Structure 1
Amino acid sequence: MKNAAARTEQIIDQPARVRALRKFAEVTADAIWPAIDLTLPYVDGTENLPRDGRFFLVGNHTQSGMAEAWLTCLSVRRTIGTRVRPLTERGMGSMPGLAGDLLAACGGVIGTPENATKLMENNETLLVFPGGGREIGKFKGEEYQLKWEGRAGFARLAIANGYPIVPVGHVGGDDIYHSLYTRDSLLGRLTERVSQAITGKPGMTMPLVRGIGPTLIPSPQRMYLRFGQPIDTTKPAGVSDGEWVETVKKTSQTALESILQELQGIRADDPFREWNPLAWRDAVRPEPVAS
């Protein structure tokens, strides 16, 4: 228990080597924004971010896997200057050596309740994808669908620590590749059986996909990101703990699904959605926020 407590403390008081890498990561992040701006990522809703940095970002994973995490973290840093602490699955968060140090320097933390609580006690900004890896492998027709079955831990943590939830939706990553068949097809069921036999993890199946034409070259796609309005997690009087956890989870999911639907509508009318350089000047831009 003592070693576990020490590891939890280190997510706040990070080792010197990680602090040095953090400075390097921050300088690099600031330096690459001009290059990112050339791709015109569509980012709006930043006015919804609490300026004290004390909030819990809850988002959706896409087939790109990490693009949504990086764009979210960079956008928050650019807007309010806060480092985001993504909650990662245990395998990624436990990587040894330089890879693990780099992830920690960028804010990554194994997503345990103890670690999340420690970060919240320190008023840090957190990011979680409740669907986890189950949302990365998309069969045909599953684009931008949330897979939150049995995942209410984020709501429980936010309520316990008085953290508002900010839903953040990402569109574009599920258009980089396209699955060749549906989950309930013969090939889909066979793929699921083979994947489960190999990994032992149901729901983590990676279907056969294509990128540009019939190849595996990723299709270039513009990224769309929207931060929703904060969701108050303060429990009303007369509501049981279990009921309130479920209410906060459903409210967050509904808000995120609405954001994804809105962003898909914006993408559908955007001539620059596939990075056509001739359409760069005509790309859809977020409407300016009224002062």
Structure 2
Amino acid sequence: MVGDPLTKMLEALSNEFFSQRMGGVGGGLLRDILAVSTNLPTISRMFPKDTLLWKLEMLKYAIASVNSHIYSVRAETLLLMSGRDQWLLNEEDIDRYSRTLPKCIVRKLDDNGQSPLLEEGVDLATIIKCTCFYRRGKSHDHITDYIMPTRYELKQQVDDHRFLLDGTSPVMLSTLEDGTLVRSLEGLPSEGPVLYVGYHMILGFELAPMVLQLMKERNIHLRGLTHPLVFKNLPDSVVDTKMFDKYKIMGGVPVSNFSIYKLLREKAHVLLYPGGVREALHRKGEAYKLFWPERSEFVRVASKFGAKIVPFGVVGEDDICEIVLDSNDQRNIPILKDLVEKATNDAGNIREGDESELGNQDIYLPGIIPKIPGRFYYYFGKPIETAGEEKELKDKEKAHELYLQVKSEVEQCVAYLKMKRESDPYRHLLPRMLYQATHGWSSEIPTFDL
């Protein structure tokens, strides 16, 4: 048992700290530790009296030292906060750190305890990559500083999207050089540079099956051109930035003509959605409609490096969900209206003065109702050659003609899939489950006749 003298000493020490207003960085931590003085018998079994008092004195001076030097720190700082740390978690201190340190990023590990780096599911290297802390130069470059995903990261991506992959049983079609349509990805070019241009489903549901299948079947690593909002380190109160990690791990790059230029120069396989957020966050009744800008520079950039352009279409979003609350509906609800307008304004501020495909696009989270999963269908058209056409495609009108041709082929791919899926006997979930139950769960499920 701990005697009254120790209790009085601890209370006196606590009162001394609070009287000095230890409200600086670490003050909350100190208060939490002193708060356990109500259970002194437990502490006495953990520490002898002299050790406990010494540790508290050391903590007092450490906090004072931190408070006196914290404002001089100008380095980039990453704070890892364990959501289930019952001993040291103090969100007030974390918030104080983030406001005091000029280049601070807070990363909350919701499912971890006091020793997150020793717990399963936490990979510090992945966190460093996803927060853009890894770099070779003065500032982070999303292209030259990118590191390919590890086997663990790839497995995690597959596991995270397992329901979508298994539930939609994607059908992948591609076109050979002679125009033959095949059920495989054989028609896709092996060597870059290649620019894939297509239609964006609601919330980008088509991304994971496509990116993972191209890597698995053809060892093609797509570098997707992504909205810059994905790369902003926004507070968790605004959005959970961890939901964007998958785009960074798989090689996403902020969309811009300069990004396309640099990726094609590196002979990469580049994924572009000219419709951007407008397609991925479309409204009710707008499924499978292309919202491309009137003009785009990707044709002339592709021709500069002789890149092949692969138009593609994808359908199936209407088979897995239904939009019940779009941006128009949300603007009629006062609380949601403010959120939509704030998110849209924030996205606009990121690319102020940019008149490209990101302009005037609502940023919102659509209200959707899931359905019993149908099936995803992908159709990659015949690659369009631009090698040797650079001089001709420098002419804006010629480049615009090719741009319209690419758009038309994407629309034809979508129209073909919408028509042909009607004859797929395995479009719905139950027939697919019965087929796999009799042929093996890893068997390829048939589809419509090509």
Q: Give the counterpart letter for 1:11 in structure 2.
A: I
Q: 2:283 aligns with which of 136, 139, 159?
A: 139
Report if the CA contact (8 A) 2:393-2:399 is conserved.
Answer: no
Give distance in 2, aligned partners of 1:135 and 1:205: 11
Give the number of the structure whose alpha-carbon radius of gyration is greater: 2
Give distance in 1, aligned partners of 2:331 and 2:229: 26
Q: Give the counterpart letter for 2:411 in structure 1.
A: E
Match of 2:303 in 1: 159
Deviation at 1:82, TM superposition (A): 1.9
Match of 2:421 in 1: 267
1:223 has 2:376 as partner: yes
SS at match of 2:311: strand
1:188-225 C-alpha deviation (Å, 9 max, x unpaired): 9968xx587453474427697552xxxxx344221111
SS at match of 1:85: strand
**1:38-117 alignment to 2 at 5 Å?**
39-45=168-174, 46-63=185-202, 65-95=203-233, 102-117=246-261
- Change in Cα spacing, 1:6 to 1:241, as seen in structure 2 (3 Å) is farther
Match of 1:26 in 2: 154
Q: Give the counterpart letter for 1:167 in structure 2.
A: P
Give distance in 2, aligned partners of 1:132 and 1:179: 18
Deviation at 1:138, TM superposition (A): 3.4
Shifted more, 238-247 versus 29-38: the winner is 29-38
Report if the CA contact (8 A) 1:59-1:167 is conserved.
Answer: yes
Mind listing any 5+ residue stretches in structure 2 that lack a counterpart?
1-134, 175-184, 235-240, 349-359, 437-444
1:123 has 2:267 as partner: yes
Report if the CA contact (8 A) 2:372-2:429 is conserved.
Answer: no
Report if the CA contact (8 A) 1:86-1:127 is conserved.
Answer: yes
Report if the CA contact (8 A) 1:8-1:118 is conserved.
Answer: no
Mind listing any 5+ residue stretches in structure 1 that lack a counterpart?
212-216
Report if the CA contact (8 A) 2:392-2:398 is conserved.
Answer: no
Give distance in 2, aligned partners of 1:66 and 1:24: 23
1:128-183 C-alpha deviation (Å, 9 max, x unpaired): 11101101233343210110023513223212222111012111124433345999
Higher relative contact order (CA 8 A, sep 6+): 1
**1:186-225 alignment to 2 at 5 Å?**
194=337, 197-198=341-342, 199-200=344-345, 202-204=360-362, 211=369, 217-225=370-378
1:74-95 C-alpha deviation (Å, 9 max, x unpaired): 2221232121100101111344
Aligned length: 273
Report if the CA contact (8 A) 1:134-1:147 is conserved.
Answer: yes
Report if the CA contact (8 A) 1:84-1:107 is conserved.
Answer: yes
Give distance in 1, aligned partners of 2:192 and 2:154: 17
- Change in Cα spacing, 1:47 to 1:6, as seen in structure 2 (3 Å) is farther
Give distance in 2, aligned partners of 1:284 and 1:98: 36
Give distance in 2, aligned partners of 1:166 and 1:6: 35
Give distance in 1, aligned partners of 2:306 and 2:421: 35
